[in-house]
Chains A and B, each alone.
Chain A
Amino acid sequence: MKILIIEDELLIQKSLKIFLEKNNFIVIATASGKEAIELIYSEDFDKILCDLMLQDISGFDIIEESKKKYLPEELKKKFIIMSAYSSSQIMEKIKDYGFPFIRKPFSGLTDVINIILNS
């Protein structure tokens, strides 16, 4: 299973990468939203773990750009949102898209695998 991690806090990004690789996932990680969009265009990922607050653009921008490649139904199965911000507006937006949501900080790393496998 091939996974894209979009996360600009490098310690989070790299730790998640190591953990998922240990569990036999193929992982590509980036801190840049723009690079993430290029990766989504050029490669095929089974899942995209996406942070919302990035340095360059927002996670929602990445999702909107991904609509050029994927249909809404496909999109729903690709993206998993990770965020420390869980204001009602953001939650509403995520719900509208229909994505699973992981609130940061989370304690169980294995939960991440469950969400990846079950979503």
Chain B
Amino acid sequence: MENKGHSKLKASGQHYLNFFITPAAAKKIVEQPKVLKFKNQTSIQKKILGEVTLINIINDYFNKLIKKDFTDAQIIIYQKGNKYSLIYSLNSGTSMINAEKFNKMFNSVKRSKSKVFDKEKLLSTNLKSLGPIIAIEFDSLNCQLLFTASRSEFFAPLSGESDTFNSLSIEFHKNIIKAFVLENNILKLNIIKTSMLTGNTPFKIKDSSSTLWMEKKLGPQDNSNPSQFYLKENFILTIFNISLSELNPNLFHHERISLLGELLNTLRHELSNPLFGIQLYLSLWNESVENIEHKELLGHALQCVSKCNNIILNLDTLFKSDSPREEIDIKKFLDDILTVAKSEIRNIPTNIIIKNIENVAIKTHGLSLFHILFNFIINAAQSIKQTNDPTRKNEIEISVTINERNIKIDVADSGLGINPGDISKISSPFYSTKTTGHGIGLNICKMLAEKMGGSISFKNRESEPGAIFSLYLNL
């Protein structure tokens, strides 16, 4: 096993950022909280923006305005979807205003033809320009920007002065957005990283006005021993009860799961629109078709689309612990899994046998169950593939045993079995003997099973080659 979690995160569709942390580094952070500075952020910035940071760009812009005799200026940046926008001010540093206020200001600038404002009319007390101010707005995919400037005079700026301001703002706005989005992504990344680092530790992230941005509660909260860290942009992270025992390999799963959650969300948005197009076209066609056979097939196709839609809609709930428990008919459920799994393993000649399935319904988290069994089946098929022996029977046998208290689902394969030396490693994070796969291994299955109140186990078969992976769930 490689001792690091190395991941790629697509942050807001903008840049790919790399980060990794070794268990030793994580341990150091917990022992010496002061090193929680996320050292690699500057190097990421340098890679994309050269030596330039957002503050550098803004200062450069302000300096150019000062040379043109402006005495005050503000840049207000609002990243769409956020609750707050940030104000960078020439004379009074940075501050925040809420999104609603920003929207009002932005829209009044957008609607104005002269772009000259009386400061009191346009702005609330948050902006400290004196006299008439000029403004310009920019709207990009991710951000809205307002630039304002004034000369602390009681006369409105002349048109030539406005032109200077406008052309400077136009020149700078793209780089400001670029740097802002990048730095924000790094901030987000840091929050995710922090949540990863703390593993099973409850924590809160608040901003300087005590608004709660992120909280992780684990059962009844014991708020003793809080440790506070200052993150970028005045965010304060409070971690409770931090202890070294929590630095177990599990923390990598939190990282992987939050990354996966983000990826799945992107995927969901990318898939749902074309699927909806297919659905609309099929239903349209379905109305006009008269041939019974075609109508039946179209109905079937529509059902498939809606199945896909359901999977997509539920993708992210897989990674939330509060996903609803539902009544699941095991036999039907296994059929569904096999439909999906068979297409995934179509290149591996396998024979899947289902044994002893009674009609039993259990109440549990369907997607977690789906995920675990799907992984078992894929693993079994890949193990068979590794034997590379066409004379073997290549069988995957699925069986269900029910007793009073619990249900056991076994997935047995005729593959190579587990190498005794690997048994202790097999459910470790990132342990894999495969070059392809889902990237989330047995350890995730184990975690999901525990979340469902069950467990998983695995062993080699006694009388023949191959392994058995079992899932136990309470009835």
A residues adjacent to B (C-beta < 8 A): 9-12, 14-16, 18-19, 61, 64, 84-85, 87, 89, 104-105, 107, 109
Contact = CB atoms under 8 A, between A and B. Distances in A.
Interface string B256-282: 000000000000010011111111110
B27 interface: no
Interface in B38-83: 81
Contacts of B279: 105, 107
A116 to B, nearest CB: 15
A84 B273 contact: yes
Given A9-B277, A89-B99, A105-B279, A18 B284 contact: yes
A84 B274 CA distance: 11
Interface residues of B, number: 18
A64 B278 CA distance: 31
B297 to A, nearest CB: 18
Given A89-B81, A89-B99, A11 B277 contact: yes
Given A12-B280, A14-B281, A19-B284, 15 more contacts: A9-B273, A9-B274, A9-B277, A11-B274, A11-B280, A12-B276, A15-B280, A15-B281, A18-B284, A84-B272, A89-B81, A105-B275, A105-B276, A107-B279, A109-B284
A106 B314 CA distance: 17
Query: Shortest 6 CB-CB distances between A and B: which pairs?
Result: A11-B277, A15-B280, A105-B276, A12-B277, A15-B281, A9-B273
Contacts of B243: none
A105 B272 contact: yes
A105 B309 contact: yes
A109 B283 contact: yes
Contacts of A10: 277
Contacts of B277: 9-12, 15
B81 A9 contact: no
A29 to B, nearest CB: 13
16 contacts: A10-B277, A11-B281, A12-B276, A12-B277, A15-B277, A19-B284, A61-B139, A64-B110, A84-B273, A84-B276, A87-B81, A89-B81, A89-B99, A104-B273, A104-B276, A105-B272
Contacts of B99: 89
Which of B279, B280, B281 has the most chain A CB atoms closer than 10 A to its own CB? B280
Contacts of A12: 273, 276-277, 280
A102 B201 CA distance: 41
A15 B279 CA distance: 9
Contacts of B275: 105
B284 A15 contact: yes
A16 B280 contact: yes
A11 B110 contact: no
A34 to B, nearest CB: 14
Contacts of B272: 84, 104-105
Contacts of B274: 9, 11
Contacts of A87: 81
A66 B81 CA distance: 24
Nearest to B99: A89
A104 B273 CA distance: 8
Contact of A109 (B139, B278, B280): B280
Contacts of B110: 64
A96 B274 CA distance: 29
Contacts of A16: 280
A61 to B, nearest CB: 8
Contacts of B273: 9, 12, 84, 104
Given A64-B110, A105-B309, A109-B284, A11 B269 contact: no
Given A9-B277, A12-B277, A89-B81, A84 B269 contact: yes
B312 to A, nearest CB: 10
Contacts of A64: 110
Nearest to A14: B281
B460 to A, nearest CB: 46
A19 B279 CA distance: 13
Contacts of B283: 109
A19 B275 CA distance: 18
B262 to A, nearest CB: 16
A11 B284 contact: no
Interface in B192-215: none
Contacts of A85: 269
Contacts of A61: 139
Contacts of B81: 87, 89
Nearest to B82: A89
Nearest to B268: A84
Interface string B87-122: 000000000000100000000001000000000000
A105 B275 CA distance: 9
A24 to B, nearest CB: 15
A19 B319 CA distance: 38
A85 B80 CA distance: 13
A15 B272 CA distance: 16
Contacts of A18: 284
Contacts of B278: 11
Nearest to A67: B111
Contacts of A89: 81, 99
B313 to A, nearest CB: 9
A11 B276 CA distance: 8
